[in-house]
Amino acid sequence: MIPEFLSCLPAEIVHLIKGKSNVELFGVVSAAALCSYVVRKVFWTPFRLYFLAQYLPGLDLRKMGRWAVVTGATDGIGKEFARALASRGLDIVLISRSEEKLNTVKQEIIQDFQRTVKIIQADFMDTDIYDKIEKELSGMDIAVLVNNVGMAQTYVHFLETPNLHESNKDILSVNCLSMASMTGVVLPQMLERGRGVVINISSILSYMGSTHSSNYSATKAYNLVLSRNLSRTYKSRGVIIQSLTPGMIRTSLLNALIPSNDSVTKSAGV
């Protein structure tokens, strides 16, 4: 007996499930759901991300606005984002803590891409910087926000972290509070205009966790979950919110995340 609401299905499918018992129907539906999950996760998503994406026309970011704001923009991944966004025709706001490095990256971007660059010096370990940043960004037509700034603690077990209490405060401020607060500063004006892109940098450790980088991997899980939640909340209002979960990338942060030489002898009990 086919329930009435299934009668809207194509005739071929109705024919397939006609006369089946509830248990058989349950089996057919479960198998179909499992197949569609496997096809999506194992074939379609990697095919779309790693193959199809390079041939599809990318988003025209200039249609999203004039400026891209990048936190932690003077080194590593943040600097590369700033340069890549400048090469796509956006003017850039660099936010980082070293004024000297900010000026160097600013000059490099002006020279290489002929874009306008504004710098904001701020230390994300401080929690009272956001009013100043909000004032500096006020009235700017921001297309893209890259929440990139991040730090890692020494590669040790949680209780062996030097200056544990201070270090906990710092990593939560830099890796988590920065993302929530910067998004709180920029997202309202993106929603008002009905366009914008927010890119949040998480890490592969957000899925795996790590006994030697407990706090770091937990902050990266925060980044991932916050992104997913915000994406679900604001997708329908024209703002794209994505997170990236990179594996190892050769930057200065990586040095804190990889074990030192003596950790090998220590773990061998020598």
Extract long-range pairs of 56-64: CB within 8 Å, 24+ residues apart.
Answer: 59/197, 59/240, 61/85, 61/88, 61/89, 61/90, 61/143, 61/144, 61/197, 62/88, 62/89, 62/90, 62/143, 63/195, 64/143, 64/144, 64/195, 64/196, 64/197
* Residue 233 in the binding site for ligand NAP (CB under 6 A): no
In this chain, which of 98, 229, 233, 263 binds ligand NAP, going by CB under 6 A? 98
Question: In terms of Cα–Cα distance, which of 88, 73, 221, 238 is closest to 147?
Answer: 73
Choice between 79 and 115, CB closer to ligand NAP: 79
Among 75, 134, 136, 141, which residue interacts with ligand NAP (rule: CB under 6 A)? 75
Asked if 246 touches ligand NAP (CB under 6 A), the answer is yes
Question: What residues between 8 and 67 interact with ligand NAP by CB under 6 A?
Answer: none
Tell me how far the alpha carbon of residue 174 is from its chain's centroid.
Answer: 14
For residue 212, state whether it binds ligand NAP (rule: CB under 6 A). no
CB of 182 vs ligand NAP, minimal distance in Å:
11
Q: What is the dihedral of CA 94, 131, 241, 77, to 10 degrees?
A: 30
User: Would you count residue 124 as binding ligand NAP (CB under 6 A)?
Assistant: yes
Q: Looking at 130, 155, 216, 234, which residue is catalytic?
A: 216
Among 60, 123, 166, 192, interactor with ligand NAP by CB under 6 A: 123
Instruction: Name the residue nearer to ligand NAP (CB basis): 65 or 117.
Output: 117
Residues of this chain that bind ligand NAP (CB under 6 A): 72-78, 96-98, 101, 123-125, 148-151, 174, 201, 203, 246, 248-249, 251-254
- Catalytic machinery residues: 216
